[in-house]
């Protein structure tokens, strides 16, 4: 009903024609995938570190530091890469790093060395830090200047939706497994990490698809359509 209503409005809350642009649609899906993996990662690793390893909240926060450091240094690097090489390299690296880190998480044990956890978290932090700049760049690619803010806002909302989906996956996948008698926490979370691998590979695939010649043409064709609609709306007004 919402989509039907929005498609008939002269001034829609969300201009559904944005999704005719392959870079924009891919950026939206990428944001959902990355942040779903991110939400699941933060939620389940907190339970693992405090519940399985017995670390305090402060110790858990310190172990999380490599994530912040990786994101801190590689986010600006990603922005420079996008400016020089386009969105594909950053998105591709991000997707592969998230898939790789999720693969390593699937093989955690109650005695995994702290240095190994720090290494995994660093990889995850770098992958997460690399993705934000190309998502925003792809979202506004080919958009008229006065619609770039709306396009960017949609992808920002997609990030929040992704986190919500990630936490929901924790409950539906790991929670269901933990409800079984005699189930182990690490065994219950393993399918969740494999979902993270799949999400990372989807991001890597979208990195190639969203920067193809076909994608570029779809973004170029969208701007005139939006401009024509704006002129039509002005006449109606």
pLDDT, tens digit, 9 for 90 and up, residues 16-29: 777 778 888 898 99
Given this model, what pLDDT does residue 9 score? 61
Given this model, what pLDDT does residue 237 score? 47
pTM of the model: 0.85
Would you say 143 and 223 are in contact if contact means Cβ atoms under 8 Å apart? yes
Give domain limits for the chain: 31-132+148-212
Given this model, what pLDDT does residue 13 score? 60
199 Cβ neighbours under 8 A, 6+ residues apart: 33, 34, 36, 37, 98, 99, 102
Q: CA-CA distance, 209 to 22, in Å (whole number)?
A: 8
Residue 211 dihedral angles phi and psi, to the nearest 5°: -115, 15
Q: Please list the ranges in the chain whose pLDDT falls under 50.
A: 231, 233-237
Given this model, what pLDDT does residue 174 score? 76
The CATH architecture annotation of domain 31-132+148-212 reads Up-down Bundle (1.20)
Please state the length of the chain: 237
In which element (H, E) is residue 178 found?
helix 175-178
Given this model, what pLDDT does residue 221 score? 72
């Amino acid at each position: 009903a919402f989509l039907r209503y929005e498609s008939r409005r002269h001034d829609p809350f969300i201009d559904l024609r944005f999704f005719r642009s392959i870079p924009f649609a891919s950026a939206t899906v990428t944001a959902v995938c990355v942040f779903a993996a991110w939400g699941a990662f933060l939620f389940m690793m907190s339970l693992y570190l405090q519940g399985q390893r017995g670390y305090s909240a402060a110790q858990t926060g310190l172990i999380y530091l490599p994530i912040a450091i990786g994101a801190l240094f590689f986010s600006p690097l990603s922005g420079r890469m996008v400016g020089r090489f386009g969105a594909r390299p950053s998105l591709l690296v991000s997707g592969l790093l998230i898939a790789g880190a999720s693969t390593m998480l699937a093989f955690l044990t109650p005695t995994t060395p702290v240095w190994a956890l720090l290494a995994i978290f660093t990889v995850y932090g770098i992958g997460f830090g690399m993705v934000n700049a190309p998502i925003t760049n792809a979202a506004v690619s080919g958009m008229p200047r006065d619609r770039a803010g709306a396009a960017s806002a949609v992808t920002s909302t997609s990030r929040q939706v992704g986190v919500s989906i990630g936490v929901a996956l924790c409950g539906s996948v790991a929670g269901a497994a933990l409800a079984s008698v005699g189930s182990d926490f690490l065994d219950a979370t393993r399918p969740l990490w494999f979902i993270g691998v799949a999400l990372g590979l989807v991001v890597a695939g979208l990195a190639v698809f969203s920067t193809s010649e076909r994608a570029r043409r779809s973004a170029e064709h969208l701007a005139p359509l939006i401009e024509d609609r704006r002129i039509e709306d002005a006449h109606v007004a």
